[in-house]
Chains A and B, each alone.
Chain A
Amino acid sequence: MIKLDAKIPEGPIAEKWTRYKQSVNLVNPANKKKLDIIVIGTGLAGAGAASALGELGYNVKNFCFQDSPRRAHSVAAQGGINAAKNYKNDGDSIYRLFYDMIKGGDFRAREANVYRAAEVSNDVIDHYTAQGVPFARDYGGTLDNRSFGGVQVSRTFYAKGQTGQQCLLGAYSSLNRQIKLGTVKMFPRREMLELVLIDGKARGIIARNLITGELERHSAHAVVLATGGYGTIYYLSTLAVNSNASAAWKAHRKGALFANPSFVQIHPTSVPQLNDYQAKLTLMSESLRNDGRIWVPKNKDEKRHPNDIPEEERDYFLERRYPAFGNLVPRDVASRAAKERCDAGYGVGKTGLAVNLDFRDAIKKQGKKAIESKYGNLFEMYETITGSDPYDEPMKIYPAGHYTMGGLWVDYELMTTIPGLYAIGESNFSDHGANRLGACSLMQAAGDGYFILPNTISNYLAPEIKTGKIPTDGKEFGEAEKSVTDRINKLLSISGKQTVTSFHKRLGRIMWDYCGMSRNSEGLTKALKMVNELEEEFWKDVNVPGSSDEVNQEIEKAGRVADYFELAKLMITDALHRKESCGAHFREESQTPEGEAMRNDAEFAYVAAWQFNESEKTHTLHKEMLSFVEVEMKERSYK
């Protein structure tokens, strides 16, 4: 029986991390080169960890499925990265950032971890600046900040709408430095397909070379997963189309608990679906809501062009429902409100699954020039994709799957329930509780990779200095490799009639409809049955062409979708068991008479960590109870 121990250090919250570092076991510099560490993923967390561990002197092997580490999906983050610098003299502090995250996460995150994330945020910004990340600056030469995501302070550092790209390229540059120095060896175009355990410890991986198809065995004294989130389970999402959960899922099947899988953030402002072949939904930055007004027509059968609809026949539903925050309510609230209007039949566009985001009033008031200087690149992107000019007519937007707060359960040291296996960045269940605040994802991923993991991993590795090189010819590696080969062969041998993508789309649709923005018991129960049936159909009728000893993108996709069926069932199970609304998880049975989310702290103030039972293919729930000492549990209201 697993006993969850978060290993939170003693002492006042502001001293926990310092105390931890003072007492943690260290590895002597001369011994570090005797230790191998595998890092999967090269985003802000992965590239950050790989370079920081390399700097310390460990032997690092870093893997990514893209052709270059510079392409990890952190690259696409737009808005910014938070830090508690208080450069604006507006009352910000580590405590306030911590408080905002706990409240924003709707009291479903662990206080000690969140405080630490806020604490290292300042070091992250300093490190990126020193790497040459060109953050926006003021005329005096110091860094600029903006307000982001509905908080009361300006703590967001940014590089136009490309903050993720710039931070990632900073991380990539430090990674390159370590590659040159020989401490990190880079393995691009590799996909981790199995985790290898020896005596219960994570000791290596099986990776497929995506060019030759060859299966490779890699051993290490510790394995770090920095593999991102699973938003592509909805098929259409704001994620890169190859983003997937397979590495984390393999770890889960080998014993790592998966926490809060149903906590998924739906971003309110993406370009809506335009056709059935669409492969992804492009995000339009949240910052647009600072000046754009969201509305739908008051008349259900409205046929007029949006510009011809008079003011009194427009329903600015966010301003109507949430007068205090208006268009700036948090992401989950805005998303649900848009869905509510569309479901009620007031949606716009060809499909009726869109709402207007209108800049008419802002342009009238501030002038086209001012709007262009703030959002020029976003308007251009919107026009490139849709062919419609947002200076002339409202944008059409709709919510899209964006960020997964759920992920592998980790303790304070970021170790999963498998000794020697760590999960960092979005791949862990993270510091965002049931809902993530804007500009906190880059912050947390980088903090985990640069400043937290490199300080905690030595605690585990200190006794490993006598272990010596781990051979890859033992039976554990053999069995792991065989299971990978068997599965690939099985997928190739089905020779059915339907493409992998067609299954992925159908799965995505089920998840979006029943385990997306709004959930209820009936729908979830139905979805569970549908996913089971679809999975069965997949294993009977999928068509994976070609062979395994060459570039075969269909094999890659097939393995990821096969894992998604299993994760989908766990997401639904988790959503079904959590009979409360909290953060991004909205259970229709748990709402106020006005239709707002209703949390149930008496019964659900815990992290739901699920254990996979190999024999019956079922899951067992473990609860990590959350206690709030620093922040009083309150209702999250934006009225």
Chain B
Amino acid sequence: MKVRLKIWRQKNSKSKGAFATYDFDGVSPEMSFLEMLDALNTKLVQEGREPVAFDHDCREGICGSCGMYINGYPHSPVPGITTCHLSMRYFNDGDTITVEPWRAKTFPVIKDLMVDRSAFDKIQVAGGFISVNTGAAPDSNSIPCRKKHADEAFDSASCIGCGACVAACKNASAMLFLSAKISQLALLPQGRIEAKERVREMVSVMDELGFGNCSNTGACEAQCPKGIKLTNIARLNREYYKAF
């Protein structure tokens, strides 16, 4: 099949970008979207042109490296998957596909579709941990935890840190991302000990970095490839109020 690709090209963080259009023939419906981009890049290199830069690694939806806007949707027009899991069979011959990087002030573009998400690491450094030294842990079964809470903590902890929630939000809010970590640790007994300090410091760093506030529109939840629930934000807010 043949597709028309409109891809955001930007040389570096300082330059001004623009869309470039590529008519690309020979796409197989069995390709993944990223394999289609690989094929485009092969063609560009062979023609002496610069390939499109994009982040990717595991290609199985778990590392959180990939992420781009495709036809106006973060990651993919198909809900619940990362870009690397999007298959070309979801497109039709002759389709125009628009591809952009995450758009958020806090995620500056590095090149083409690559953005700088180091702000996410900074939020985690602020307090996304339990202060336990190696060797100091008690026997695992001496910290029992309700199965319900452990399962919920797991659901929150399955966030892959891709940034789709921020990219989807009109306020570029990182509340879903932060709340996933707060929830995970708040639900576990071993996480309760530092719960107050954790939420205060992580929220404060998130604000300093310039992420917007939650506007309760739920775009983050709708676009999250891992199904992280909005209820995490409710828990974050409860934890935050309790922390002062």
User: Is A613 part of the contact surface with B, judged by Cβ < 8 Å?
Assistant: no
- The winner among A70, A130, A180, A553 for most chain B CB atoms within 10 A is A130
CB-CB nearest in chain B for A52: B134
**Stretch in contact with the other chain, from A10-18, A161-169, A423-431:** A161-169
With A137-B147, A177-B131 in contact, is A130–B190 under 8 Å at CB? yes
A481 to B146, CA, bound (A): 55
Distance between A493 CB and nearest chain B CB, rounded to angstroms: 15
5 closest A-B pairs (Cβ-Cβ)?
A141-B144, A130-B137, A173-B129, A134-B154, A129-B140
Distance between A86 CB and nearest chain B CB, rounded to angstroms: 11
- Mark B residues whose CB is within 8 Å of A: 11-12, 28, 30-32, 34-36, 38-39, 42, 45-46, 48-51, 53, 55-65, 81, 85, 87, 89, 110-111, 114, 116-118, 120-121, 124-141, 143-147, 150-151, 153-154, 157-158, 160-161, 184-185, 188, 190-191
Distance between A133 CB and nearest chain B CB, rounded to angstroms: 8
Q: Are A143 and B141 neighbours in the complex by a CB distance under 8 Å? A: yes
With A131-B130, A451-B135, A550-B111 in contact, is A141–B145 under 8 Å at CB? yes
Q: Are A277 and B143 neighbours in the complex by a CB distance under 8 Å? A: no
User: Is A136 part of the contact surface with B, judged by Cβ < 8 Å?
Assistant: yes
17 pairs from A and B in contact (CB 8 Å cutoff): A76-B58, A126-B140, A132-B190, A135-B150, A137-B150, A142-B141, A162-B158, A174-B134, A176-B121, A176-B125, A240-B58, A241-B56, A279-B35, A283-B60, A381-B61, A450-B134, A551-B111
Interface residues of A in 123-156 (CB under 8 A from B): 123, 125-127, 129-143
Q: Are A73 and B143 neighbours in the complex by a CB distance under 8 Å? A: no
Q: Are A73 and B31 neighbours in the complex by a CB distance under 8 Å? A: no
CB-CB nearest in chain B for A65: B57
With A134-B153, A166-B157 in contact, is A277–B89 under 8 Å at CB? no
Q: Are A132 and B87 neighbours in the complex by a CB distance under 8 Å? A: no
A141 to B128, CA, bound (A): 23
Q: Are B134 and A241 neighbours in the complex by a CB distance under 8 Å? A: no
Q: Are B130 and A173 neighbours in the complex by a CB distance under 8 Å? A: yes
A73 to B191, CA, bound (A): 26
Distance between B199 CB and nearest chain A CB, rounded to angstroms: 14
Residues in chain A near residue B59, CB distance under 8 A: 240-241, 279-280, 282
Candidates B61, B85, B134, B161; contact of A68 at CB < 8 Å: B161
Candidates B46, B117, B140, B154; contact of A125 at CB < 8 Å: B140
Residues in chain B near residue A550, CB distance under 8 A: 11-12, 111
Candidates A381, A454, A499; contact of B46 at CB < 8 Å: A499
With A142-B141, A279-B38, A553-B51 in contact, is A543–B134 under 8 Å at CB? no
Residues in chain B near residue A71, CB distance under 8 A: 57-58, 63-65, 161
With A240-B59, A387-B89 in contact, is A545–B35 under 8 Å at CB? no
Apart from the given pairs A123-B135, A176-B121, A381-B60, 14 other A-B contacts in the complex at a CB distance below 8 Å: A67-B118, A70-B124, A73-B57, A126-B137, A130-B130, A130-B136, A130-B140, A137-B147, A137-B150, A143-B140, A176-B125, A275-B35, A387-B87, A553-B53
A376 to B138, CA, bound (A): 34
With A166-B157, A385-B85 in contact, is A75–B141 under 8 Å at CB? no
Distance between B115 CB and nearest chain A CB, rounded to angstroms: 9
User: Is A58 part of the contact surface with B, judged by Cβ < 8 Å?
Assistant: no
Distance between A538 CB and nearest chain B CB, rounded to angstroms: 15
Interface residues of A in 21-74 (CB under 8 A from B): 48, 51-52, 55, 66-71, 73
Candidates B42, B46, B137, B151; contact of A129 at CB < 8 Å: B137
CB-CB nearest in chain B for A160: B154
Q: Are A141 and B146 neighbours in the complex by a CB distance under 8 Å? A: yes
Contact with B along A510-522 (1 / 0, CB 8 A): 0000000000000
Residues in chain B near residue A162, CB distance under 8 A: 62, 158
A384 to B62, CA, bound (A): 14
Residues in chain A near residue B87, CB distance under 8 A: 384-385, 387
With A75-B58, A132-B190, A279-B38 in contact, is A55–B63 under 8 Å at CB? no
User: Is A300 part of the contact surface with B, judged by Cβ < 8 Å?
Assistant: no
Q: Are A551 and B53 neighbours in the complex by a CB distance under 8 Å? A: yes
With A75-B63, A143-B140, A550-B12 in contact, is A129–B190 under 8 Å at CB? yes
- The winner among B46, B60, B146, B147 for most chain A CB atoms within 10 A is B60
A66 to B144, CA, bound (A): 35
Residues in chain A near residue B48, CB distance under 8 A: 545
Residues in chain B near residue A135, CB distance under 8 A: 140, 150
With A137-B145, A280-B60, A545-B48 in contact, is A55–B35 under 8 Å at CB? no
A610 to B50, CA, bound (A): 40
User: Is A497 part of the contact surface with B, judged by Cβ < 8 Å?
Assistant: yes
A550 to B130, CA, bound (A): 38
Q: Are A129 and B143 neighbours in the complex by a CB distance under 8 Å? A: yes
Distance between B9 CB and nearest chain A CB, rounded to angstroms: 12
Distance between A312 CB and nearest chain B CB, rounded to angstroms: 33
Residues in chain A near residue B127, CB distance under 8 A: 180
Distance between B92 CB and nearest chain A CB, rounded to angstroms: 15
Residues in chain B near residue A497, CB distance under 8 A: 46
CB-CB nearest in chain B for A243: B57
Candidates B57, B62, B132; contact of A66 at CB < 8 Å: B57
Q: Are A132 and B134 neighbours in the complex by a CB distance under 8 Å? A: no
User: Is A264 part of the contact surface with B, judged by Cβ < 8 Å?
Assistant: no
Candidates B56, B60, B157; contact of A134 at CB < 8 Å: B157
Q: Are B35 and A66 neighbours in the complex by a CB distance under 8 Å? A: no
Residues in chain B near residue A274, CB distance under 8 A: 30
User: Is A488 part of the contact surface with B, judged by Cβ < 8 Å?
Assistant: no
CB-CB nearest in chain A for B157: A134
User: Is A620 part of the contact surface with B, judged by Cβ < 8 Å?
Assistant: no
Residues in chain B near residue A75, CB distance under 8 A: 58, 62-63
Residues in chain A near residue B61, CB distance under 8 A: 381
- The winner among B42, B129, B138 for most chain A CB atoms within 10 A is B129
Q: Are A70 and B50 neighbours in the complex by a CB distance under 8 Å? A: no
A173 to B191, CA, bound (A): 12
User: Is A532 part of the contact surface with B, judged by Cβ < 8 Å?
Assistant: no
Residues in chain B near residue A172, CB distance under 8 A: 124
Q: Are B132 and A134 neighbours in the complex by a CB distance under 8 Å? A: no
Interface residues of A in 211-266 (CB under 8 A from B): 211, 240-242
A174 to B132, CA, bound (A): 8
User: Is A91 part of the contact surface with B, judged by Cβ < 8 Å?
Assistant: no
Residues in chain B near residue A553, CB distance under 8 A: 51, 53
User: Is A278 part of the contact surface with B, judged by Cβ < 8 Å?
Assistant: yes
Distance between A448 CB and nearest chain B CB, rounded to angstroms: 12
Q: Are B35 and A68 neighbours in the complex by a CB distance under 8 Å? A: no
A280 to B11, CA, bound (A): 28
Q: Are B134 and A140 neighbours in the complex by a CB distance under 8 Å? A: no
Q: Are A70 and B85 neighbours in the complex by a CB distance under 8 Å? A: no
Q: Are B45 and A543 neighbours in the complex by a CB distance under 8 Å? A: yes
A48 to B135, CA, bound (A): 12
Residues in chain B near residue A132, CB distance under 8 A: 129-130, 153, 157, 184-185, 188, 190-191
Residues in chain A near residue B139, CB distance under 8 A: 126
A179 to B46, CA, bound (A): 43
User: Is A345 part of the contact surface with B, judged by Cβ < 8 Å?
Assistant: no
User: Is A188 part of the contact surface with B, judged by Cβ < 8 Å?
Assistant: yes
Q: Are B64 and A70 neighbours in the complex by a CB distance under 8 Å? A: yes
A132 to B60, CA, bound (A): 25
Q: Are B30 and A275 neighbours in the complex by a CB distance under 8 Å? A: yes
Q: Are A499 and B65 neighbours in the complex by a CB distance under 8 Å? A: no
A497 to B85, CA, bound (A): 31
With A134-B188, A241-B57, A545-B45 in contact, is A67–B126 under 8 Å at CB? no
A543 to B131, CA, bound (A): 49
Candidates A129, A134, A140; contact of B184 at CB < 8 Å: A134
